[in-house]
C-alpha cells in the first residue's frame, strides 16, 4: 500500500527539483515558466494516453470486440484519450529535434497547434510561446519527461504529477498570486462529504479545476464512468486560469464547460436552481462588489449582507454563500471553502446567515486549522448545504472541529493524510445513519493492516542479513583487539564493551522479533479471512492487536538501537585501526558501505513496522470515539446541534463554539515517531531556507562589487 505512494512522491519531487533547476539556469521567471512547463507535462501525458488507447484498440479489434475498420479519433475519445496527429506525438518530436535542423521550440509549438486543430475543447487553450526557451533548456526539460519511468506512467500518476506542479507553482505564487489552486486534501474532503456522483456539477470559482478532477476520482472509485454520470460546469474570471483548468481536465481525460465570467455579476450557464452539486473555493473577504449591480440578482434570495456609503458590498463572503445555495436544485448538495470569520460575522452578514440556517439546509460545518493553503495562512471553514436533508435532520447541523486533525507536509504547510480524510468522512456517514459504511471502512483498515503485517517479516529479514554482515566483518577485529598487545587498554576496553552491548542487544532483539512474528502469524490465522465483521467482532479483533502494536513500537526502538550499536562498534574498530594487526583485519571502505546499507535496511524495516502501527491507530481512533458504530458527540471534535442552540449562540456556525474542549490525552497516546518526523521536516526546511538565503546574500554582494 505504502511503497507505490512513496515512489510517486519521490518521482514528483525529483521531477520538480530538476525542472526548477532548469528554470533557475535560464532567464525565465516562474510566471514565464509555469504555463509552458504544464504544456510539456500535458503533451507527455497525451502521448501516454494515446499509446495506451492505441494498444487497447488493437486488442479489441484482434479479439472481435471492435470491428476491423479504419480507426477514428472518436475511438480514442471513448477510451479517455486524445487522437494525436503525428506531429503532436512526443517521441516523434524528440526524434525530429535530434535528426533535423528544425529547432525544438518550433516543433513543440506546431504540436500544440495540431492538437487544438483536432480537439475542439482545447482550441485557444494551449500555450504556443515556446520560443521563450533557449533550445537547450527546452530540450533538457523534454528529456526530463521522456524517461522510461515517465513513458510508462499511468493516467493516475500523471494526474498527480500535474497537480503536484500546480501546487509547487502555487507556493511560488506564480500566476494570480497562487489563488488558482486549492490543495487536493481540502477538495477531496469536500467531495467526500457531498459525494458528487451524478447530474450537474458546478464550480462558480473554478480555478485550476481541481473540484472536477476529484469528483471524477470519486466517481471512478465507485466503479462508474465520469462522462456518463456528470456534466461539469464552471465560471472563472481569469482567462489564463481557464487554460490551466481545461488542461487539468484534459490531462485527466475529462471535459468541462468553463466560461469566462465574474460570478458576482454573471450567471453564464443560467444554472440557478438546476445544480445537483456545487463546489467552490471563492476569494475571501472581497470588498469591491457593486451593490447596485447585484441588489436585484435572483441568486440573492436572502438579500444583501450590507452596503456601505460608496454603494459597495462591504464583504462579498455572503454573496458567494447565497449564490451557492441558490444554484442547488431541491435535492442538491453544496460544499465550499469560506473564511473562518464568516461563520460568526455580525450585522447584515448575521442576518443573511440566520435566514440560511432557517432554511434547514445547512448540513455540516468543518473547521480547518491555518496553513492548509499555500498562499493563505489563516484558518478556514468548510460549509456544506444539503437541500434534500430528511425531516429528522432538517433543523440540525453537524459541527466538526478538525483543527487538531492534520499532517505536517513542510514547516509552513499542513494537509490531511488519506486516512484522516476517510475518518472525517466516516463521522459524516454516522451523522447520516450510514453505519454499514463506517464498519466497512474499519474492515478495510483491518485488510490493510494484514497487508502491512505480511511485509514485516521480509523487511526484518533484510535488516537481519545486513546486521549479520556488519557483525561478520567486525568479528575478526573484536577477536584481535582482545589479544593485541600493542593496542592500548582504553581502545581494547571500548571495543570489548561495544561488542558486548551489540551482542546483548542482538540476543534481546532476536527473542522479541521471534515473539512478534509468532503473534502476527497467530493474529493472521485468526482474522485474515474475516470480512464484514460486526462492530463487536471488530472491537475484539482490534483488542487482539493492541498488544502486538505495543510490541511493534518496542521492536522499532530495538532496531534503531542495534544500528546505533553496530555503528559505534564500527567507529571503535576504525579508531583501533592504527594497530597493524587490526588494520589488516578489515577494509574501512567496505565496512562503511555495509553500515550505510544497514542504515537503509533499518529505515525500510522501521517504516514498515510503523506503517502497521499507523493503520492500527486509525482503527483505534474511530473505535474509541464511536464505540457503538453510532454517532455521538465527542468533546473537542464533533457535536450535532439544533437550531435553538445556534440561535442562542447568536446564529454562529463556528464549530469550536459548540464542540467543547477535548480531554487531555494520556502520555501513551503521544505519537513520538510522528513528532520526530515533524521536527525533521521543520529542520530540513530551515536548512534549505538558510542555504537559499546565503546564496541570495552572496549574489547581492557580487552585484554590489563587494
What number of other Cβ atoms are within 10 A of residue 465's Cβ? 12
DSSP structure class, residue 126: S
What number of other Cβ atoms are within 10 A of residue 466's Cβ? 23
C-alpha span between 388 and 51 (Å, rounded): 44
Q: Give the three-class secondary structure for 298.
A: coil
pTM of the model: 0.83
Domain boundaries, the chain: 2-163, 178-433, 447-630, 672-703
CA dihedral 61, 67, 73, 75 (to 10 degrees): -70
C-alpha span between 245 and 210 (Å, rounded): 8
C-alpha span between 249 and 452 (Å, rounded): 34
Residues of the chain with pLDDT under 50: 1-5, 174, 177-178, 667-670
Distance between start and end Cα atoms, the chain: 54
C-alpha span between 368 and 401 (Å, rounded): 7
Rounded to the nearest 5°, which phi and psi values hold at 140? Answer: -65, -40
- How many Å separate Cα 494 from the centre of its chain? 48
C-alpha span between 147 and 152 (Å, rounded): 9
C-alpha span between 90 and 86 (Å, rounded): 9
Q: In this predicted model, what pLDDT tens digit does every residue of 639-672 receive, in sequence order? A: 999 999 999 999 999 999 999 987 765 544 445 5
Assess whether the region 2-163 and the region 178-433 belong to the same CATH fold. no
Q: Are the CB atoms for 130 and 36 separated by under 8 Å?
A: yes
Cell numbers at 343, concatenated: 461563520
533 Cβ contact list (under 8 Å, min separation 6):
439, 442, 443, 446, 541
C-alpha span between 193 and 686 (Å, rounded): 36
What pLDDT is recorded for position 176?
52
C-alpha span between 643 and 357 (Å, rounded): 8
Q: In this predicted model, what pLDDT tens digit does every residue of 181-226 receive, in sequence order? A: 677 889 999 999 999 999 999 999 998 888 998 999 899 899 998 9
What number of other Cβ atoms are within 10 A of residue 646's Cβ? 23
Cell numbers at 591, concatenated: 565496512
C-alpha span between 33 and 38 (Å, rounded): 9
C-alpha span between 59 and 116 (Å, rounded): 28
Q: Are the CB atoms for 163 and 249 separated by under 8 Å?
A: no
Q: Which CATH architecture has domain 2-163?
A: Up-down Bundle (1.20)
What pLDDT is recorded for position 505?
95
Name the CATH topology of 178-433. Answer: Rossmann fold (3.40.50)
What pLDDT is recorded for position 684?
59
C-alpha span between 98 and 47 (Å, rounded): 19
What pLDDT is recorded for position 42?
87
Q: In this predicted model, what pLDDT tens digit does every residue of 410-456 receive, in sequence order? A: 777 788 999 999 999 999 999 999 999 999 999 999 999 999 999 99
Helix axis angle for 135-144 and 104-118, nearest 10°, is 60
What pLDDT is recorded for position 235?
96
What value does the CA radius of gyration of the chain take, rounded to a whole number of Å?
A: 30
Amino acid at each position: 500500500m505504502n511503497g507505490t505512494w512513496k515512489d510517486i512522491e519521490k518521482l514528483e519531487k525529483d521531477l520538480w527539483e530538476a525542472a526548477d533547476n532548469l528554470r533557475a539556469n535560464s532567464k525565465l521567471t516562474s510566471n514565464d515558466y509555469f504555463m509552458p512547463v504544464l504544456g510539456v507535462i500535458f503533451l507527455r501525458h497525451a502521448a501516454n494516453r494515446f499509446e495506451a488507447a492505441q494498444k487497447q484498440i488493437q486488442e479489441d479489434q484482434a479479439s472481435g470486440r471492435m470491428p476491423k475498420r479504419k480507426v477514428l479519433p472518436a475511438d480514442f475519445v471513448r477510451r479517455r484519450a486524445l487522437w494525436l496527429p503525428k506531429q503532436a506525438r512526443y517521441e516523434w518530436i524528440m526524434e525530429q529535434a535530434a535528426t533535423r535542423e528544425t529547432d525544438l521550440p518550433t516543433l513543440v509549438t506546431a504540436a500544440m497547434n495540431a492538437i487544438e486543430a483536432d480537439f475542439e475543447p482545447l482550441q485557444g487553450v494551449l500555450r504556443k510561446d515556446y520560443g521563450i526557451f533557449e533550445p537547450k533548456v527546452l530540450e533538457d526539460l523534454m528529456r526530463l519527461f521522456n524517461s522510461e519511468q515517465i513513458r510508462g506512467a499511468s493516467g493516475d500518476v500523471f494526474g498527480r504529477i500535474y497537480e503536484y506542479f500546480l501546487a509547487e507553482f502555487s507556493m511560488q505564487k506564480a500566476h494570480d498570486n497562487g489563488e488558482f489552486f486549492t490543495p487536493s486534501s481540502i477538495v477531496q474532503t469536500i467531495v467526500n462529504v457531498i459525494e458528487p456522483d451524478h447530474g450537474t456539477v458546478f464550480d462558480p470559482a473554478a480555478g485550476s479545476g481541481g473540484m472536477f478532477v476529484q469528483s471524477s476520482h470519486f466517481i471512478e472509485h465507485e466503479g462508474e464512468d465520469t462522462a456518463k454520470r456528470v456534466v461539469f460546469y464552471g465560471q472563472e474570471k481569469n482567462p489564463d486560469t481557464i487554460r490551466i483548468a481545461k488542461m487539468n481536465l484534459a490531462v485527466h481525460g475529462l471535459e468541462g464547460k468553463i466560461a469566462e465570467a465574474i460570478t458576482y455579476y454573471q450567471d453564464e450557464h443560467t444554472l440557478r436552481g438546476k445544480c445537483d452539486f456545487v463546489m467552490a473555493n471563492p476569494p475571501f473577504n472581497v470588498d469591491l462588489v457593486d451593490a447596485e449591480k447585484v441588489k436585484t440578482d435572483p441568486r440573492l434570495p436572502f438579500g444583501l449582507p450590507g452596503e456601505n456609503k460608496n454603494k459597495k458590498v462591504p464583504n462579498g463572503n455572503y454573496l458567494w454563500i447565497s449564490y451557492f445555495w441558490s444554484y442547488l436544485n431541491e435535492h442538491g448538495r453544496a460544499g465550499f471553502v469560506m473564511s473562518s470569520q464568516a461563520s460568526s460575522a455580525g450585522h447584515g452578514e448575521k442576518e443573511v446567515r440566520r435566514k440560511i440556517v432557517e432554511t434547514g439546509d445547512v448540513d455540516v460545518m468543518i473547521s480547518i486549522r491555518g496553513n492548509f493553503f499555500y498562499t493563505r495562512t489563516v484558518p478556514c471553514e468548510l460549509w456544506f448545504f444539503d437541500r434534500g436533508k430528511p425531516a429528522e435532520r432538517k433543523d440540525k447541523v453537524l459541527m466538526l472541529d478538525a483543527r487538531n486533525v492534520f499532517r505536517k507536509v513542510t514547516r509552513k504547510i499542513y494537509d490531511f493524510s488519506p486516512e484522516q480524510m476517510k475518518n472525517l468522512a466516516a463521522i459524516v456517514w454516522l451523522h447520516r445513519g450510514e453505519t454499514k459504511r463506517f464498519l466497512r471502512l474499519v474492515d478495510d483498515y483491518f485488510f490493510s493492516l494484514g497487508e502491512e503485517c505480511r511485509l514485516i517479516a521480509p523487511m526484518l529479514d533484510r535488516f537481519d542479513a545486513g546486521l549479520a554482515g556488519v557483525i561478520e566483518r567486525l568479528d575478526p577485529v573484536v577477536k584481535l583487539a582482545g589479544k593485541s598487545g600493542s593496542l592500548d587498554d582504553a581502545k581494547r576496553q571500548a571495543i570489548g564493551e561495544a561488542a558486548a552491548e551489540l551482542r546483548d542487544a542482538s540476543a534481546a532483539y532476536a527473542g522479541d522479533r521471534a515473539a512478534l512474528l509468532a503473534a502476527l502469524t497467530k493474529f493472521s490465522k485468526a482474522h485474515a479471512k474475516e470480512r464484514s465483521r460486526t462492530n463487536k467482532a471488530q472491537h475484539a479483533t482490534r483488542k487482539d492487536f493492541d498488544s502486538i502494536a505495543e510490541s511493534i513500537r518496542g521492536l522499532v526502538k530495538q532496531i534503531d538501537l542495534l544500528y546505533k550499536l553496530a555503528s559505534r562498534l564500527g567507529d571503535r574498530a576504525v579508531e583501533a585501526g592504527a594497530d597493524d594487526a587490526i588494520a589488516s583485519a578489515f577494509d574501512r571502505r567496505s565496512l562503511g558501505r555495509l553500515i550505510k546499507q544497514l542504515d537503509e535496511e533499518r529505515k525500510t524495516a522501521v517504516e514498515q513496522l510503523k506503517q502497521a502501527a499507523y493503520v492500527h491507530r486509525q482503527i483505534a481512533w474511530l473505535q474509541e470515539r464511536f464505540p457503538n458504530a453510532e454517532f455521538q458527540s465527542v468533546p473537542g471534535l464533533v457535536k450535532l446541534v439544533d437550531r435553538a442552540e445556534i440561535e442562542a449562540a447568536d446564529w454562529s456556525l463556528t464549530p469550536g463554539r459548540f464542540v467543547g474542549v477535548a480531554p487531555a490525552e494520556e502520555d501513551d497516546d503521544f505519537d513520538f515517531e510522528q513528532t520526530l518526523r515533524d521536527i525533521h521536516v521543520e529542520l530540513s526546511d530551515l536548512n534549505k531556507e538558510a542555504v537559499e538565503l546565503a546564496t541570495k546574500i552572496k549574489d547581492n554582494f557580487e552585484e554590489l562589487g563587494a
